[in-house]
Structure formats: C-alpha cells, structure tokens
Amino acid sequence: MTVTEIAKRAGVSIGTVDRVLHDRGRVSEATRNRIRAIIEEEGYQPNPLARHLKRNRGYQLGILIPGLEGESRYWRLMYDAIVRAAASFSVFSIETKLYPFERPDRFSLDAAYQAMLDSGCDGYIIAPVMQEETLVLLSERPPAVPYCIIDSPLPGAHGITTIAQDPFRGGFLAGRVMEFLSASEGPFAVVRPYTEAFNLNERARGFTAWFSGNPKVEIIDLVCPENHESDMLAILDRTLNERPAIQGFFAVSSVGHVVAERVYRRGMKDGRKIIGYDLVPENVECLRDGRIDCLISQRPEEQGRIAVTQLYRNIVLEERTDPEIAMPLDIFFKENLV
C-alpha cells in the first residue's frame, strides 16, 4: 500500500497522511486515529530509499572529537569506524566531516564546535571529553539537528542517544581485578591524564570505591598530563621515588603503555600490577609482553558504528532511537588477545 492509497481510503490528502506518518503538523485526533488504523491494518512501512531518491540529496555527519593522532590514536580507531559505517550506507550518500579539537584547550573546542554548527550537517557525533565546556556549548548554542553522544555519558545533554560504558562500573571492575591480581593491600595509584573528563573521573572514583571497605588500602591519585609527556614521566618518576611500595597502577585512559614502560625501564615491574584502558596498539604490545597485566576495552570501533546507525535511523528512516546504548566491559589478558 502506498501513501496515495492510504489517503484515498481515509478520505484525506496525501499531506495529511504524511503529517501523521512523521508526527508533525496539526491533524484532528479522529483523522489521526483513522489513518493510523489503516496503517496498522495494512502493515505499511515507509520506504526510506524512495524518499531519499525523491529528495535527490545526500547526508553529512559532523564529527566533534579530539585530534586523531593524540592519545595513542584512540580517536583514530573510532573515527575510522565512523567512516566505514557511513560508507556502508552508500545508497543514501552518507558522508562525514571531521571537526577535531585539542584537548584540554577550551578555545580549540569552541572553534571546532562553531565550525561544525556552521557546516550545515544533518547530524552530529560528539565526544564530550571536556564535560563542563561541552555542556555550556550545547546549552548556549544548541544544535538545530540531531546529535549522538559517544565515549562518555554527559549528564544534562539531550542528544538522541548516548553510546558509552558506565565509567564508574569500569573503574569498579578494575579495582576488583587489581585486588585479584595483586593479592596485596596496596598502596595503588590511579593515573588520570585529564581532570575535566566525566568518564575518567568516574573510573577513578569506581576504582577507589572497590577498596572502600578496606581502610588499610591507600589509593594515590596521580594527575599526569598526557599532552605533556615529559611532565607525565616526571610525575611518575617522583612518585616511584617517593612511594616505592606502590603495588599497582590503574591508568583510566589509553596511557597505560606510558606507565608500563616507565615502571619497566626502572626495573620496578616485578610484583607490581598495571591495569589499563583501551586496545590501542601500544597497550596491546605491552599486554602481550607482560608489561601490562590487564586491559579493559570500551569498543571504540563499535561505538562509531552504532553512532552512525542511530543517526541513520533518526535522519533517514525518521525512527525513534534508543536513548542509551551501554557498551560492555571487556577484559583482556594476554591469553585471550586475538
């Protein structure tokens, strides 16, 4: 059955049927119910391909994430997956436009965000790694098109969907694994490369919460700026000099390989456990050779694919999307690396 046939059977115009199908415009309740009854009876499904061909236009998605070559190229993994996912919808001509920013530079974020708003894209994929700054931008200059949140939850945002792990649970899991691997009462250190990221702070909080029932365990909070590696290494060296009794490190982001390499080069790996995040190549190499003991993955490639799919459902199919999609907590040891 076509829209024209529905309109004829309901005794209304094609435009009225279209308004009911897409839930927009003013239609009387009686007319709306009559049209919906016909749609349900006939099992009518809109044809997105036909609608796309009629409009004779493509779709463009703006991607607001940190620069691809920083942070152990974690964002490269996600962006490449976004590009591949967009290409898989080739019949609908979905393209991507990257708007990278330098973290934690709020001016860089602001400029990239504004450029994205000015682009005329049909939808956005946003990584809110600078929590407060991103919330301000979204509230002061709200997007006029649908957007997805990826990598980290952003309480207060109103995107069509959020695709991320529960970061507190991720840190809590890391604490449990650390206790199992170390079989000691610490002390343990949490390495945070940034202080403005909701997910990283929640992972640190979750790790500390796991040990909260044991007052003998001390958790040391180390803020080590990833964008200045010399400063990061200096902080690690000072900590190892002052606190040689540390039994383990939990890196809440992809910097685990930096921590592991420093501990190893100083001849201090024996007995100390290192847990990291993300299957970036450097971390995988360290896991294989024993410098890292465990990695937690948040599937950046899958996040990218899902984000494109959710925007496709919203923009092209005009369907409602899932407001939250929780990514699993994958644990890798060297024995189960593929």
Per-residue pLDDT reduced to its tens digit, 211-246: 998 989 999 999 988 878 889 999 999 999 999 999
- CA dihedral in degrees (85, 88, 92, 94; nearest 10)? 30
| pLDDT tens-place string over residues 59-96 | 999 999 999 988 889 999 999 999 999 998 866 688 99
- What integer pLDDT is reported at residue 251 of this predicted model? 97
**167-297 shares the fold of 54-163+300-325:** yes
| pLDDT tens-place string over residues 153-200 | 999 999 999 999 999 999 999 999 999 999 888 899 999 998 889 999
Going by CATH, does the domain composed of 167-297 fall within 3.30.750.24?
Answer: no
Longest Cα–Cα distance in the chain: 83
Non-local CB neighbours of 251 within 8 Å, separated by 6+ positions: 191, 258, 259, 274, 275, 276, 277
- What integer pLDDT is reported at residue 280 of this predicted model? 95
SS3 223: strand
Is the torsion defined by CA of 304, 309, 311, 312 positive or negative? positive
- What integer pLDDT is reported at residue 140 of this predicted model? 95
| pLDDT tens-place string over residues 93-145 | 889 999 999 999 999 999 999 999 999 999 999 999 999 999 999 999 999 99
Non-local CB neighbours of 32 within 8 Å, separated by 6+ positions: 20
Non-local CB neighbours of 240 within 8 Å, separated by 6+ positions: 246, 262, 263, 266, 268
> What are the extents of the domains in the chain?
3-42, 54-163+300-325, 167-297
**Does 309 have pLDDT greater than 60?**
yes
- The CATH architecture annotation of domain 54-163+300-325 reads 3-Layer(aba) Sandwich (3.40)
* CA dist., res. 188 & res. 219, Å (int): 5
- What integer pLDDT is reported at residue 218 of this predicted model? 95
Non-local CB neighbours of 12 within 8 Å, separated by 6+ positions: 31, 35
DSSP assignment string, 97-155? EEEEE-TT-HHHHHHHHHHHHTTT-SEEEE---SHHHHHHHHHHS--SS-EEEESS--T
Q: Do the beta carbons of residue 116 and residue 64 sit within 8 Å?
A: yes
| pLDDT tens-place string over residues 3-60 | 678 888 899 887 788 778 767 678 888 898 898 888 888 777 666 555 544 455 679 9
- What integer pLDDT is reported at residue 49 of this predicted model? 53
Non-local CB neighbours of 80 within 8 Å, separated by 6+ positions: 301, 304
The larger pLDDT score, comparing residue 325 to residue 5, is at 325
Residues in the chain: 338
pTM: 0.82
